[in-house]
Amino acid sequence: MLCNLCPRSCNTDRDTSPGYCRVTNRIKISRAALHFWEEPCISGQNGSGTVFFSGCNMGCVYCQNNNISHGAFGKEITTRRLAQIFLELQQQKAHNINLVTPTHFAPQIIDAVKLAKNNGLCIPVVYNTGSYEKPQSIEALKDTVDIYLPDFKYISVETAQKYSFCADYPDVAKKAIDAMIKQTGPCVFDDDGIIKKGVIVRVLVLPGYADEAKRIIEYLYRTYGDDIYISIMSQYTPCTDLDKYPEINRKLTQQEYDEVVDFAVELGLENGFLQEGEAASESFIPPFDLQGV
């Protein structure tokens, strides 16, 4: 079957060849381990059971996980093995199963979660995505995903095309996030503050693009109010060759980040998360060494 799973609609036979996402239909992951650098309500004390999938349907020029997204480093595994990994992470006391860059493996993930649930998986499933998703793909995840953790990368067509080669991203992301919110409803937390259901939208502030981040936050807040949480991220780390993009070949300044945060506060945003201190650090980038695979 030709793959048109995501908005790229690359029409590739991924049974035999890699698609735009750089991988075939065979599940490929680079790491499965407890992760402690997500939002506090996701990582908690025990960590988030994070599975990093190889490949990506976006291919952002500045991706900090370039080795696995662009390079597609990882190991191919079966659906049954993926289900076992979910259960192993649960046994390690993970608060949730966190699927990072899962879009191009969504059908296989649905099967793996179903198999894992039949064998005792009972912690929430987090879908950690760049939001370049078709609404029907989100609808298909209804009985699989409890928590959505989408990025909202760009609200400008020009910026989306320049850094991720997808001019339609703003419209696509709006529709995808809307489908997520309609599916989960408002955020629900347990007594320890760990999220059980809902949507947290991440806004990564790019250097030189504070105004774009503010526009995204304003759109989200005015559209959804307190039904969602907004995570304003300062961890942009220029890890790849950005000679063609010198304007973003630097870390975000504290002044730029503070400008966005001050705007969100003045807007009235209360349901949010901030990153403090030296967030732009490779400590946020785990070693992709096939741990747990």
For residue 272, the SS3 value is strand
Query: How big is the chain, counted in residues?
Result: 293
Lowest mean pLDDT among 107-116, 121-130, 239-248, 280-289: 280-289
Q: pTM, whole model, 2 decimals?
A: 0.96
Listed residue (216, 230, 221) closest to 155, CA to CA:
216
Encoded tokens for 57? 């349907």
Residue 44 amino acid letter: G
41-50: pLDDT as tens digits: 999 999 999 9
Predicted confidence at residue 66, as pLDDT, reads 80
What does the pLDDT average to over 4-31?
96
Counting residues of the chain whose pLDDT is more than 70, the rounded percentage is 97
- Residue 280 confidence (pLDDT) above 50: no
The domains located in the chain, with CATH, are 25-284 (3.20.20.70)
Mean pLDDT of the chain: 94
Lowest mean pLDDT among 31-35, 75-79, 287-291: 287-291
Encoded tokens for 200? 């947290």
Gyration radius from the chain CA atoms: 18
What does the pLDDT average to over 6-19?
95
159 versus 239: the higher-pLDDT residue is: 159
